[in-house]
Amino acid sequence: MSNLKITEVALRDGSHAISHQFTVEQVTSITSALNEARVPYIEVTHGDGLGGSSLQYGLSRTDELKLIEAAVGVADFSKISVLLLPGIGTIEDLKVAENLGAKMVRVATHVTEADVSKQHIETAKELGMETVGFLMMSHMAPVEKLVEQAKLMESYGADVVYVTDSAGALLPHEVKERIKALKQELSVEIGFHAHNNLSLAMGNTLAAIEEGATRIDGSVRCLGAGAGNTQTEVLVAVLEKMGIDTGIDLYKMMDLAENIVAPILPQPQEITKNSLTLGFAGVYSSFQVHANRAAKKFNIDSRDILVELGKREVVGGQEDMIIDVAAELAKAKSLV
C-alpha cells in the first residue's frame, strides 16, 4: 500500500494540549525535522483551525499566520496544511493562508452539518488547494447519515473525506463499518483521524487502513487533544513491520519525538481519568482543558461535567456550554 499518506497534526491538534502556546521557534524546529523525515503533510493552525484564537476557544500565544509562514519557510518537501471550521474561520482567512503558502485545507464540520462546508470547499478548489472534507464527531451519526454527509462533501469538490473520531469514542468494528461504507459509496480517497482516549487510536487506525483508508493522521509523541492522537513515530514503525512503506524516515521521527517535541510537553500524553471520560462519554477531545478549568472554578468533579456534556450531545463550537453545565451541576450539588 504505497499510496498511504500521513498528515502530522501535532502543530494543530497538539495546540490544544499546550493551550495554544506554540512559538515561531518551536514550529520552525518541528516542521524542519518533520520535513527532513519526509512527512507528506504537516497541519499548522490554532487547535480550532483558522481564526480559532479567541476567549471562547483559547487565545494563541503567536498569531497563527506567523506560524504558518514559518512552517512554509522551512518545508521544501512537506506540504503545509491548515484546518478550517466554517463559522470560526472564514474564506478570507483561507485566502490569506493560501497566499502564505498553505497547499492543503481540511474543512471540518460536525458529522451532520456538511452542507455548511460548500462555499469553503469550492473556494479552496478555486485557489488550487488540495481539499479535504473533515467530518468531526463521527461516532454521533449512524453509518447511513455519515455516507450522506460524505457524499455532499465529495459533490462540493473534496479530494478526500475523513472519518474523524474527535472524541476517541469509536470502537474498531465501528471504524471498519464507517470506512467500508464510504469506500463503497464514494470515489474519492477516504481518511481517518483518531484520538486515544480509550487507548484505541492505533487499533482504530489499523482497522481503517485494513478497510481501505489511504489518508491517515498521526501526532508525534502523541501530542494532541485529550489523550492525543495515533502516535506518528509508532505508526510508522508498525506499518513498516506490516510491509507498508510510508516513505517516512523512522529513526528521524524517533529522534524528533525524543529530542524536540518531548521537552515542550507540559506533561506526558497519557490516558488520565479526564481523557478516559472523554472517550467514554463521547465528548469532543478539546473540551478536557475547558472542563478542568470549570471544575476548579465551581469546585466539582470535571468528570461529571464531561458526562453531562455527553448526555446533552454538546459538540465543538459549544464551548460556552461547559461553564453553563458546570454552574448547573454546582447549584444542584449545593442543594443536596
Mean pLDDT split into 10-residue runs, the chain, 336 residues:
88 95 98 98 96 86 96 98 96 98 98 98 98 97 98 98 97 98 98 98 98 98 96 98 96 98 92 93 85 91 92 81 91 80
Residue 285: per-residue pLDDT: 80
Residue 289: per-residue pLDDT: 83
User: Burial level of 332, CB count in 10 A (0-12/13-18/19+)?
Assistant: exposed
193 is in an annotated binding site: yes
Q: What are phi and psi of 314, to 5 degrees?
A: -70, 140
Whole-prediction pTM:
0.93
Q: Could you tell me which residues come within 8 angstroms of residue 132 by beta carbon, excluding any fewer than 6 positions away?
A: 81, 104, 105, 106, 107, 158, 159, 160, 161, 162, 191, 215
Strands (E) in the chain, as ranges, are 5-8, 41-43, 79-84, 104-110, 130-136, 160-164, 189-193, 215-218
Distance, CA of 295 to chain centre: 25
Q: Could you tell me which residues come within 8 angstroms of residue 123 by beta carbon, excluding any fewer than 6 positions away?
A: 91, 94, 95
166 is in an annotated binding site: yes
Phi-psi sector, 5: left (phi>0), alpha (psi -120 to 50), beta: beta
Helix (H) and strand (E) counts for the chain?
14, 8
User: Is 173 annotated in the active site?
Assistant: no
Apex 77 CA angle, 74 and 81, nearest 5: 75
Contact 161, 172 (CB under 8 A): no
Contact 224, 17 (CB under 8 A): yes
Q: What are phi and psi of 192, to 5 degrees?
A: -145, 135
Residue 267: per-residue pLDDT: 86
C-alpha cell at 106: 481540511
Phi-psi sector, 222: left (phi>0), alpha (psi -120 to 50), beta: left
How far is the C-alpha of 317 from the C-alpha of 110, rounded, in Å? 9
41 is in an annotated binding site: no
Contact 152, 107 (CB under 8 A): no
Residue 2: per-residue pLDDT: 59
Instruction: For residue 197, give the 3-state DSSP assignment.
Output: coil
- Write down the catalytic residue from 16, 120, 139, 290: 16
120 is in an annotated binding site: no
Residue 88: per-residue pLDDT: 95
How far is the C-alpha of 128 from the C-alpha of 146, rounded, in Å? 27
Number of residues in the chain? 336
Give the CA count within 13 Å in the CB-facing half-sphere of 80.
Answer: 27
DSSP assignment of 66-126: HHHHHHHHH-SSSEEEEEE-BTTB-HHHHHHHHHHT--EEEEEEETT-GGGGHHHHHHHHH
Q: Scan for cell 465543538, then name that residue.
A: 316
Residue 288: per-residue pLDDT: 83
How far is the C-alpha of 135 from the C-alpha of 106, rounded, in Å? 10
- Which amino acid belongs to residue 306? L
Q: Which residues pair with 86 in a beta bridge?
A: 89
Q: Which domains does the chain have, with CATH numbers?
A: 5-263 (3.20.20.70), 286-335 (1.10.8.60)
